Amino acid sequence: MSTTSQNGQGFTFLDVERALDQVGDVAALHEMLDMLQDSLERDVPKIAALLAEGNVKSANRLLHALKGFIPIFCIDALCDHVTRVETFSKTASAEDVTPLYAVLRNDLEKLQSDIDHYMG
């Protein structure tokens, strides 16, 4: 999916308005974005490592967790992309999931950049 278009808020994937609607206030949003950033920093490379080891089941568990909280913070296109890769990883081999995850990983890294810029 990898896109360079922005959502009108100056971010590629972060949707601050959506997130504020979900969490209620800026202080809570900052706390939750800190947690999201920690999770992305830990899990994005871990998923790639698990796929490289052929451990698609464990990679799927981490993708499933991402699928659960990404909709709070992100535009629909990224939510849909995470869902597609997570769903595919339930039945596909690590070899088949790896190239799809590589594209998703790029987008998740752009999300990390969005968060860094917002939290600035």
Give how many domains the chain has, as a whole number: 1
Domain range for 66 is: 16-119
pTM: 0.90
Within-domain flag for 5: no
Within-domain flag for 36: yes
pLDDT of residue 7 exceeding 90, the answer is no
pLDDT digit string, tens, across residues 29-49:
999 999 999 999 999 999 999
Within-domain flag for 84: yes
Q: How far apart are CA 24 and CA 22, in angstroms?
A: 6
Q: What percent of the chain has pLDDT over 90?
A: 91
Within-domain flag for 3: no
Within-domain flag for 10: no
Measured at the CA of 49, the angle between CA 47 and CA 52, to 5 degrees, comes to 110
Within-domain flag for 9: no
